[in-house]
A and B are shown apart, each in its own frame.
Chain A
Amino acid sequence: MNPELSPVGSTTADSRPRVGSNVRIASILVIVVVGSLLFVAAQPRLYRAFCEWTGLYDIDRAEQVAVSSLPGRPVTLEFDANSHDGGLLFRPQTNSLAVKTGEIVHVIYRVENTRDSTVIGQAVPSYGPQHAGGYVKKLECFCFKQQTFAPHEVREMDVVFLIDPKLPDDVATLTLSYTFFEVPAGGAKALATSAEVRT
């Protein structure tokens, strides 16, 4: 037998302080490796379960979290929409809402591209009064990224937010206004498509 191929010590009958055969120890260690692999495979589920259990990062509970610190008070929200050029028809589905601070508000905006060409646009928000803007906590908004509209496409877009209960008392009405700007050459991706728009 080639001594280099056999596990060392397996053929000699010496009195080393053995824990078991080499292969047995290695098998136990392989089980640890497999256990570690299973542990990491389970992480996405465990992580989600932990976050749900503790309420961390849980958007559904954001309302409770916000309300728990300060009581909500009524506030009137007004929605406004403008388009910087005539190509996009842009308006909110609701013009005004009576809500309480800390409540999750869901509003839909409707956009129609009236042109025969593709339009890339980005909505830019503004607030009235201006200093109230910091208290609008957006969870999801179509204004987060550029939007591409096919010719004559009609699309409904969401904005989900809540008004921070720390909103100063003198603000009774808050206006959320969006203006859609056409992006001439926004980013590398838009370059190619906007070239088509020009022709």
Chain B
Amino acid sequence: MQATHTAGHAGDHHHDDHAHYPSGWKRWVTTTNHKDIGSMYLWFSFVMFLVGGAMSLIIRAELFSPGLQYVSPEFYNQMLTLHALIMVFGAIMPAFVGFANWMIPMMIGASDMAFARMNNWSFWLLPPAAILLTVSIFVPGGAAGTGWTLYPPLSVQMGIGMDMTIFAVHILGMSSIMGSINIVTTILNLRTPGMTLMKMPLFCWTWLVTGFLLIASMPILAGAVTMLLTDRHFGTTFFNAAGGGDPVLFQHIFWFFGHPEVYIIALPAFGVVSHVIPAFSRKHLFGYTSMVYAIAAIGLISFFVWAHHMYVTGIPLTGQLYFMYATMLIAVPTGVKVFNWVTTMWRGSLTFETPMLFALGFLVLFTIGGLTGLVLAMTAVDIQLQDTYYVVAHFHYVMVAGALFSAYSGLYFWLPKWTGHMYNEGLGKLHFWLSIIFFNIAFFPQHFLGLAGMPRRIPDYSQQFADFNVVSSVGAFGFGLSQLLVLIVVFQAVKGGAKADSRPWDGAHGLEWTVPSPAPYHTFEDPPAFDAAEAHA
């Protein structure tokens, strides 16, 4: 099975492993190969991760002690806005699109994505957007300082940096929509014979639902920022009460996009973990069918809970109650997933290589983040905690310990397949332990700060918050520095190391492990045979 095309079609020039691509930089600009594009997405997202991370360290340096030390309040606001936009749209989302590009065709036995040329365009839209965002710091008035939510009236009043942010969001939206159309079409249409939807690897399922979420929600965000743009320059008053509009309308539209966005980030993370945990438990995933229904349920409900971000905007009591209960409902399918992951490990023969460590870190910390989310879902509590550091702690547990740890889990899991070499296990484990320890030092105290009433998005704070902020800043710098380890690990694995088998993890199953490591430039030019017994392992 493993050598389907290498052995079977060695004489056929169309199917051979020798890539026919231009050399040098031209290869990367013109490539339509899903593996090349996947790698570019991953590198891009890592660069953006470092840029956004540097910004967060500016924030944490300023917050190390009360008073204003290093930056002006305006610049502080720009840093926290760009940090959020870059991390969400530049780092986490492209990272999982990178995984999708690399792995989905190999998981379903397709030779490439459905629209290979469009795939290239969706990637190359990202760098201009990233440049617009970062260059906006240097224009008069600076970058957008509104927070990533871009609420009017502030976003209507800001300088040209706001327009650059709006255009960047347009471009990023276009890229995401094109990428999603590609991924959804690939998953629906290019699966190898015999692989029905319910026998498809779970990562593909999470991306199928994520793709639909993106296709439905990104145009909503694009529309919202377009209305901001016309309010700013063309005299419309969508969000201006003086002209008959309502700034609260923006919040409704933004969060109608914004909440599904949370699951756009979380679902692929769930998908990666659903591959790693079974592999290192040496068992099949427990409750595959319930996992699929849980993914679909989460995707669907995520469109009907948006106003839980708006409890203090004056929505009526009935509305508050509805959004509270609907939000809590999401805990049910999410709980099903956590239950299934834990049950997968039950009586498995577990080993704790780096991918598994990150998956377990994800499992524990994401669950904490989910529980604080439930606390925030309660209207009465949220009115107290709205815009405090409790919220900051909550979403960093979901975004960093959830999505980022899952991405690391996937990176270490598939790195041998991509590079053909085993990574340095010792460094990988060190990276994990430093990450999880410093992460908790950085973010756990923020729960206490929020409960004590420290507001977010303000560069100064009152004396009684000083100690926890020192702890948090120390943790943030430790976390930031330990992320450089992953760069060493990846460079080492690219350059050399122990040869990786086609299936370097004895518990891993699926078509992607039947091709040699490193994966040849072209794989599955002819659909491979699919063994249903191997499905969703």
- List A residues at the B interface (Cβ < 8 Å): 3-5, 7-9, 12, 14-22, 25-26, 29-30, 32-34, 36-37, 39-41, 43-44, 47, 51, 54, 56-57
Contact = CB atoms under 8 A, between A and B. Distances in A.
10 contacts: A8-B113, A8-B190, A16-B192, A17-B191, A22-B115, A36-B220, A39-B220, A44-B238, A47-B252, A57-B314
Interface string B275-298: 000000000000000000000000
Contacts of A4: 32-33, 116-117
A29 B215 contact: yes
Given A12-B526, A18-B189, A22-B115, 4 more contacts: A29-B185, A30-B181, A32-B212, A54-B316
Contact of B115 (A15, A26, A34, A47): A26
Nearest to B315: A56
Given A3-B14, A17-B195, A43 B185 contact: no
Interface of B: 14, 32-33, 110-117, 177, 180-181, 184-186, 188-196, 212, 215-220, 222-224, 227, 238, 245-246, 248-249, 252-253, 314, 316, 526-527
A29 B181 contact: yes
Nearest to A8: B112
Instruction: Give the most central of B111, B115, B189, B527: most A CB within 10 Å.
Output: B189
B185 A22 contact: yes
Contacts of B184: 25, 29
Nearest to B236: A44
Contacts of A56: 316
Contacts of B215: 29, 32-33, 36
A15 B223 CA distance: 41
Contacts of A16: 189-193, 527
Instruction: Give the most central of A8, A20, A43, A56: most B CB within 10 Å.
Output: A8
Contacts of B33: 4
B530 to A, nearest CB: 10
Contact of A19 (B14, B113, B189, B316): B189
Given A9-B190, A30-B181, A36-B220, A17 B196 contact: yes
A170 to B, nearest CB: 31
Given A16-B527, A32-B215, A7 B32 contact: no
Given A44-B245, A47-B246, A56-B316, A22 B116 contact: no
A57 B195 contact: no
Contact of B222 (A19, A20, A30, A37): A37
A40 B193 contact: no
Contacts of B246: 47, 51, 57
Contacts of A15: 193, 527
Contacts of B14: 3
Given A8-B112, A8-B114, A43 B223 contact: yes
Contacts of B217: 36
B114 A43 contact: no
A36 B115 contact: no
Q: What is the interface of chain B mostly: helix, strand, loop, or mixed?
A: helix
Contacts of B192: 16
Contacts of A25: 114, 184-185, 188-189
Contacts of B248: 57
A14 B527 contact: yes
Contacts of A44: 227, 238, 245, 249
B216 A22 contact: no
Nearest to A30: B181
B32 A22 contact: no
The 6 closest A-B pairs by CB, nearest first: A40-B223, A36-B219, A37-B219, A22-B114, A25-B185, A8-B112
Nearest to B31: A4
A9 B193 contact: no
Nearest to A17: B191
B523 to A, nearest CB: 12
B274 to A, nearest CB: 22
Contacts of B195: 17
Contacts of B111: 8-9
Contacts of A40: 219-220, 222-224, 253
A41 to B, nearest CB: 6
A19 B114 CA distance: 13
Contact of A7 (B115, B193, B219): B115
Contacts of A47: 246, 249, 252
Contacts of A20: 189
Contacts of A34: 219
A99 B193 CA distance: 80
B535 to A, nearest CB: 13
A25 B215 CA distance: 13
Nearest to A12: B526
Contacts of B253: 40, 43
A17 B209 CA distance: 19
A16 B524 CA distance: 13
B346 to A, nearest CB: 33
Nearest to B34: A8
A19 B117 contact: no
A5 B117 contact: yes
A28 to B, nearest CB: 9
B119 to A, nearest CB: 10
B534 to A, nearest CB: 17
A112 to B, nearest CB: 26
B216 A32 contact: yes
Contacts of A33: 177, 181, 215, 219
Nearest to A19: B188
Given A29-B181, A29-B184, A44-B238, A36 B193 contact: no
Nearest to A55: B316
Nearest to B117: A5
A47 B250 CA distance: 10
Contacts of A39: 219-220
A38 B181 CA distance: 18
A12 B193 CA distance: 13
A7 B119 CA distance: 11
Contact of A43 (B110, B189, B212, B249): B249
Contact of A26 (B110, B181, B227, B316): B181
A14 B185 CA distance: 17
A36 B224 CA distance: 12
B223 A41 contact: yes
A19 B190 CA distance: 9
A25 B314 CA distance: 42
Contacts of A17: 191, 193-196
Contacts of A5: 32, 116-117
Contacts of B218: 36
